[in-house]
Amino acid sequence: MLIFRGLYSTGKTPVALTIGNFDGVHLGHQALLKQLRMAAQQLGLPTAVLVFEPHPREFFTPQEAPVRLTSMREKLEFFTTLDVDRVYVCRFNSSFAQMSAVNFIHVLYESLAAKFVLIGDDFRFGNRRSGDIALMEKIGGQQGLKVEVMHRVSHNDVRISSTAVRAALSKGDLRTAQRYLGRPYSISGRVVHGDGLGKQLGFPTANIQLKHNRPPLTGIFVVRVQGDGMSPMQGVASLGVRPTVKKNGKPILEVHLFDFSDEIYNKHLRVDFLHKLRDEVKYLDLQSLTQQIELDVSNAKQWFIQYD
């Protein structure tokens, strides 16, 4: 998969293109990419995805923007598994935000050499979201750009969307989130050094670097961890601010792996969240916290015995 930073295409190779934020790369996104791949094969074109960084709502209203489900690296990893040929990462800044809808369409066929564009039925673009499907079909059609619309994907009359996934995760409903994603929700990152408290308490943890300070879920979870050539491993994870030992702390993802003692600093791991055990709690002392961790580990192991 080729990755381009910016709105340009080397060699002007014609492409079949889709556009969006693809946060979470859920089943709706996957259906869109499948339809794009089918159209591209019929036209003899490589597939291409145009994504924005940061999310437009993070640019305009950072305090009100939704939490991210996936980092850019995670999106790119998912695109690779879904056989995307090219990804264009567009820097969303004030200059791009002011681009007119007509000029944006020109960029698609002039800079990205798009011959086919597949968009969702609610897609809007250009300054103040002034562009719509009808405008793209009109302007694009004049330049030989074929535009196709992908309609929403639903489950039990609920539209599968990033918003629906966030809502499920915020409630700890991992089963519904998995249903919308087509896989367990996961967070991937590099293992970094922590403060060593877990080891001190008898439960050493791998601290996974978070790319953003607002994870879409918090609590204590049953997890499966894999990556960097390692076999999948069972464990229990804490994702939160650790109120027992920190005041006004930032969210931290710590994973205790069962029957594991290898050195894994700097390895890049993916943590699959399988089941929520409980919410994060502030305990009176470390002894009480240690007793609860012992119970969490026992409950997580029992979950694997019963459901895995």
pLDDT band for position 9 (cuts 50, 70, 90): low
pLDDT band for position 176 (cuts 50, 70, 90): very high
CATH of the domain at 100: 3.40.50.620
Residue 224 lies in a domain: yes
Which of these, 166, 193, 9, lies nearest to 85 by C-alpha position? 9
User: What tens digit of pLDDT does each residue of 211-266 get?
Assistant: 877 899 999 999 999 987 888 999 999 999 888 877 777 899 999 999 888 888 89
Q: Does one domain contain both 106 and 253?
A: no
pLDDT band for position 272 (cuts 50, 70, 90): very high
Pick from 140, 158, 176: which residue ends a domain? Answer: 158
Q: Does one domain contain both 68 and 214?
A: no
Confidence check: pLDDT of 190 > 70: yes
pLDDT band for position 122 (cuts 50, 70, 90): confident
Confidence check: pLDDT of 198 > 80: no
Pick from 114, 141, 158: which residue ends a domain? Answer: 158
Q: Does one domain contain both 35 and 90?
A: yes
Residue 169 lies in a domain: no
CATH of the domain at 271: 2.40.30.30
Residue 31 lies in a domain: yes
Residue 174 lies in a domain: no
Q: Does one domain contain both 233 and 290?
A: yes
Which of these, 188, 198, 169, 227, lies nearest to 290 by C-alpha position? 198
Element of type H or E holding 38: helix 27-43
State which residues form the domain around 189: 184-307
What pLDDT was estimated at residue 96?
87
What pLDDT was estimated at residue 94?
87
> How many CB atoms neighbour CB 306 within 10 A?
7
Residue 179 lies in a domain: no
What pLDDT was estimated at residue 57?
82
**Rounded percentage of the chain residues whose pLDDT exceeds 70:** 99
Q: Does one domain contain both 105 and 40?
A: yes
pLDDT band for position 13 (cuts 50, 70, 90): confident
Average pLDDT over every residue of 261-276: 92
Residue 165 lies in a domain: no
Residue 250 lies in a domain: yes
Q: Does one domain contain both 273 and 214?
A: yes
Residue 122 lies in a domain: yes
Q: Does one domain contain both 231 and 118?
A: no
Q: What is the greatest pairwise CA distance in the chain?
A: 72
Predicted TM-score (pTM) of this structure: 0.92
Question: Which of 45-54, 145-154, 200-209 is predicted with the least confidence, judged by mean pLDDT?
Answer: 200-209
What six digits make up the tokens of 91? Answer: 């820097």
Q: Does one domain contain both 87 and 139?
A: yes
Q: Does one domain contain both 7 and 56?
A: yes
Q: Does one domain contain both 9 and 153?
A: yes
Q: Count of domains in the chain?
A: 2
Average pLDDT over every residue of 28-35: 96
